[in-house]
Amino acid sequence: MEEARQRVVAEGASPLTRWIYFSSPSWTWEQLCGREGWLLYDPESERQFQFVMTVMN
């Protein structure tokens, strides 16, 4: 996962780009469409680069 972060930073993403753990809102789990996993996110540009899903219902 660190290689992916280094790659997007080398391609111009902010050095603040980090992997964060994301869980979709509770209503998505209630509707059986919830997702959870690691999100490669740049807070400076508010861009998402990659999502590695670990849980789905």
39-57, pLDDT tens digit by residue?
999 999 999 999 999 999 9
Looking up tokens 């490669």, which residue turns up?
A: 40
The answer to whether the CB of 14 falls within 8 A of the CB of 42 is yes
Across the chain, the runs of DSSP E, i.e. the strands, are: 18-23, 35-42, 47-56
Supply the pTM of this predicted model. 0.81
Name the pLDDT band for 14 (thresholds 50, 70, 90). very high
For the chain, how big is the Rg over CA atoms in Å? 13
φ, ψ for residue 2 (rounded to 5)? -65, -35
Amino acid of residue 10: A
Looking up tokens 């740049």, which residue turns up?
A: 42
Looking at the chain, the whole-number percentage of residues with pLDDT higher than 70 is 100
Looking at the chain, the whole-number percentage of residues with pLDDT higher than 90 is 98
